[in-house]
Structure 1
Amino acid sequence: MPRFLTFALVAPLASFGGIAVGERRSGWDRPARSAVLGLLGACLGVEREDDAGQESLAGDYALALLCQAPGLLLADYHTAQVPSAARGRRYATRAAELAAPERNTVLSRRDYRSGAWHLAALWPRGEAPRWTLEELAAAMRRPAFVPCLGRKSCPLGLPLAPTIDEAPDAVAALLARHAGGPEARLALGPRRTLRDALAGAGGRSLTVTLDEAEAERIVTPHESLRTERRRDQPRSRRRWQFDLREERVLRVAAP
């Protein structure tokens, strides 16, 4: 039976950004594959300039996400001062930008999610991935860099709490984590958990997303809702380039 590394992605404030163009920085209702792999890279201490390490993260592992609560949309109207653009001039630090003689004010709107609650399942795609599941779990427990859910201003609200378990498929692993994981036992009262409070009235069914090719191997009962195209498959972190990916959205019954 295959093994899966499951972990929690819970934050009081999260940013699930999509393609950022101009002043409008919109976001999704769930994390991107690139964002979760970036979080994993932060735990491992993989730098953006480490092309080999980033390539291993992007190609060696499959990912599935269970959405318990997408969170409430929160828009932030953000203002920042930046120096005027000039050919051949680059600033190494934010302090250097602010010290420039000419500065302009830039206005943007950035979308956040408050109260987002997701679970992730990770498993190797090949026979010899660079890091074993045990090594990934150890890095999550003692991360090299501070993990965040989107931007640096979005720290985790709960520990990642990685666990490795056997399951028939990724959906079964996520449902088992949903039913008996450590974060599922956080109570707000004698009859209400924090997870259910964030989910509201929509807790009878859950949404699971994963790669289109991986969805064909799912044996756990589910309903296929749709296929979406997302530009979140990392190509180059150094140049900040991402490829399109087809993602299947499934509906499953809550245990």
Structure 2
Amino acid sequence: MGHFLTFAMVAPMASFGTLAVGERRDGGDRPARSAVLGLLGACLGLTREDEAGQNALAQGYGLAVLCHASGRLLTDYHTAQTAPSRRNWRPATRAQELAEAPGEVATILSRRDYRMGSWHLGALWVRGDNPRWSLAEIRDALQEPVFTPSLGRKSCPPGLPLAPELVEGESATAVLLERQDSGPESSMRNRFGLFKDQLAGRNSRTETLVVLDAADVAEHGAGHTILRREMRRDHPLSRTRWQFGLREEALILCAKEAGV
């Protein structure tokens, strides 16, 4: 039996960023590993400049996410000021860039993706013997966060409590499926038509998608078959330099008997 910390990530509006180039800010249908660790780090009070703390969080814990509902896609358009290009000029801040811009400031259009009615559950476990924080300490931080938690952007607060719970189970997938069926937020599922599943090709009543590191499937996949593998650049390397490494993620489809 293993020890896990489960928690909810439910919001009326969420934004799970992917690779961002230029004016296009795509969003994924599920939170990246870096996004969930960022949520935990905010609750723990970690700043981006705390490299030791960020590395301890990134390296010391395993993570699995159950995708109950990806949410409906919403694309929003923003206008933002930008300065003309200038050779060998590296302003320290955006305010300096705009204040010292040569000529007139231009306007660009930015397109950003959001998810309406997003519902995910997370399971965290310790890797190794000397974690910086125990699961109980992280649970306490989720209950009384230092910084305000959000799901992707500050404009996307959780719609339900994170409701962290310390549990025991055979695997991360097993405890996530148990929480989906009987967890503290389970009575709210599909209430008033909210949070209905939006993942194509899946019957939400008989199938559930769980994602985790491909290397963890043997121990935490609960015997379910891998649907596919994806390479994601969402392993935090440096928050200050905004650098992320590649990670192989496995998507497993957990089938239930009809009527369960």
TM-score, shorter chain, exceeding 0.5: yes
> In structure 2, do the counterparts of structure 1 residues 174 and 181 end up closer, same or farther at CA, with 3 Å as the change threshold?
same
Residue 198 of structure 1 corresponds to which residue in structure 2?
Answer: 196
Alpha-carbon distance in structure 1 between the residues aligned to 2:233 and 2:112:
18
Indicate if the aligned counterparts of 2:235 and 2:246 stay in contact, CA closer than 8 A.
yes
Counterpart residue number, 2:67: 67
Matched with 1:211 is: 213
Aligned residues of 2:9 and 2:151 also touching (Cα < 8 A): yes
Q: Secondary structure at the match of 2:38?
A: helix
Q: What is residue 239 of structure 2 aligned with on the other side?
A: 237
- Asked if the contact 1:33–1:232 (Cα under 8 Å) also holds between the matched residues in 2, the reply is yes
Q: Name the SS of the counterpart of 1:20 in structure 2.
A: strand
SS of residue paired to 2:174: helix
Q: Which secondary structure state, in structure 1, belongs to the residue aligned with residue 161 of structure 2?
A: coil
- The one-letter amino acid paired with 1:5 is L
Contact 2:117 2:195 in 1 (8 A): no
Q: Is residue 3–residue 167 contact of structure 1 (8 Å, CA) maintained in 2?
A: yes
SS in 1 for 2:185: helix
Unaligned runs of 5+ in 1: none
Residues 1:113 and 1:186: Cα distance change in structure 2 (over 3 Å): same
Q: Which residue in 2 is equivalent to 1:78?
A: 78
Contact 2:71 2:195 (C-alpha < 8 Å) held by counterparts: no
Residue in 2 that maps onto 1:44: 44
Q: For 1:194 and 1:237, locate their aligned partners in 2 and report how far apart those are by CA, in whole Å.
A: 39
Aligned-pair CA distance for 1:78: 1.4
In structure 2, list runs of 5 or more residues that go unmatched.
none
Alpha carbons of structure 1 residues 219 and 42: separation in structure 2 relative to 1, 3 Å: closer
**What does 1:163-202 align with in structure 2 at a 5 Å threshold?**
163-186=165-188, 193=191, 198-199=196-197, 202=204
Give distance in 2, aligned partners of 1:88 and 1:252: 50
Q: Letter of the aligned partner of 1:104 in structure 2?
A: A
The alpha carbon displacement at 1:197 in A equals 5.3
Instruction: Name the aligned partner's letter for residue 64 of structure 1.
Output: A
Comparing 79-88 with 162-171, which one deviates more in the overlay? Answer: 79-88
What's 1:228 paired with? 230
Shift in Å, 1:183: 0.6
1:142 aligns with 2:144: yes
Report the AA paired with residue 17 of structure 2: G
Change (3 A) 1:208 1:195: farther
Give the 3 Å change call, closer, same or farther, for CA 98–164 of structure 1 in structure 2: same
1:154 aligns with 2:180: no
Label 1:58 to 1:197 Cα distance change in 2 as closer, same or farther (>3 A): closer
Instruction: Give the conservation status (yes or no) of the 8 Å contact 2:82–2:107.
Output: yes
Letter of the aligned partner of 1:33 in structure 2? R
| Equivalent pair of 1:208/1:251 in contact (CA under 8 Å) | yes
Whichever residue aligns with residue 65 of structure 2, its letter is L
Counterpart AA for 1:11: A
1:114 aligned onto 2:95: no
User: Contact 1:121 / 1:170 at 8 angstroms: preserved in 2?
Assistant: yes
Q: What does residue 32 of structure 1 align with?
A: 32
Shift of 1:81: 1.8
Match of 1:125 among 104, 124, 127: 127
Contact 2:119 2:195 in 1 (8 A): no
Considering only aligned residues, what root-mean-square deviation do their CA atoms show, in Å?
Answer: 2.0
Percent identical among aligned pairs is: 54
CA contact (8 A) 1:221 1:252 kept: no
* Kept in 2: contact 1:71–1:115 (CA 8 A): yes
Task: Give the conservation status (yes or no) of the 8 Å contact 1:208–1:250.
Answer: yes
Please report how far the alpha carbon of residue 222 of structure 1 lies from its aligned counterpart in structure 2 after TM superposition. Answer: 1.8
Offset, 1:79: 1.0
